[in-house]
Amino acid sequence: MLIDTHAHLTWDSFEKDLPQVAQRTSDAGVKIVINIGADLESSQKAAEINCDPLQSFSSIGLHPHETSELANDVSIHQDIEELEKMYQNHSNRVVAVGECGLDYHFGRPGFTSTTLSQNQMKVLQKKLFIAQINLAKKLKLPLIIHCREAWDDIFIPELTDTGGVFHSFTGTKEQAKKVLDLGFYLGFTCIITYPKNEYLRQIIKNIPLEKILTETDCPFLPPQNMRGQRNEPANVYEVIKTIAEVKNLTFKEVSHTVFQNASKLFNLRYN
């Protein structure tokens, strides 16, 4: 059985053909998809979305990009309260907190602020991150961590005695070791199929399969043979295939172990 542990089927680009996408995904052998919350709206949608014939779970979280909207500590507190309410209402579906973390790739569309400097946004991101770490501890849920251009700041003391996954990992082998030393998993997407990312394939080759999760991050980051197209959960097949080639294992060995990894981390109760 295949699993996509990080999808965004709540995205607008799936609105018109979600049933067809779900059927294609099921036909490709994917049994479970975890839809990821990135703000209050997408967290709510992820907890409620119908992806039949797939079995779908969800996360609840606030992406670091949300700091352009969260202007103070009161706003953070209020949004964390809303996330907790979502969990209480959908505890049978919600299996993680996130995606949360740090992202210093400032200046991209939708990630600017007319009132906050970059340093102020970094401070606010860290507060938002810590608030979600504390929520995960309170709810006894794993974390889904997003880190972009912020590796020097991401390994904060609050992560001790937590667990989860660093999603769409793009760090170095040294950073991978730090993630593993914390007890977290490494999530890999279709970008491991890109020719330029040999360094990621070498990291995969040298880490335990038991610490790897497979993701698509769809509709983003399609595999090499679909560059420029919308990504779908069915393409997690390409991630597993590449991992198997890199580690000289069979597709079945990789898919089975990854499924067990995800089931363990997210405490999945699947049909």
Looking at 100-222, list the stretches that DSSP marks H as alpha helix, in order from N- to C-terminal side: 118-139, 151-154, 173-181, 198-205
pLDDT above 70 (res 110): no
Give the pLDDT band of residue 72 (cuts 50, 70, 90).
Answer: confident
Is residue 127 in some structural domain? Answer: yes
Overall number of domains in the chain: 1
Please identify which residue in the block is written with the tokens 């069979």.
Answer: 250
**What was the pLDDT predicted at 109?**
56
Is residue 177 in some structural domain? Answer: yes
Which helix (H) or strand (E) segment is 43 a member of?
helix 40-48
Domain boundaries, position 234: 2-266
Is residue 131 in some structural domain? Answer: yes
Is residue 8 in some structural domain? Answer: yes
Mean pLDDT over all residues of the chain?
94
What digits encode the pLDDT tens for the residues 32-46?
Answer: 999 999 999 999 999
Query: Could you tell me the two tokens for 44?
Result: 């709510």
Which residues make Cβ contacts (< 8 Å) with residue 162, sequence separation at least 6? Answer: 133, 136, 137, 142, 143
pLDDT above 80 (res 209): yes
Is residue 271 in some structural domain? Answer: no
What digits encode the pLDDT tens for the residues 134-159?
Answer: 999 999 999 999 999 999 999 999 99
> What is the CATH number for 31?
3.20.20.140
**pTM for the whole thing?**
0.95
**What was the pLDDT predicted at 111?**
58
Is residue 162 in some structural domain? Answer: yes
**What was the pLDDT predicted at 114?**
60
Is residue 103 in some structural domain? Answer: yes
Is residue 221 in some structural domain? Answer: yes
Higher pLDDT, 169 or 118: 169
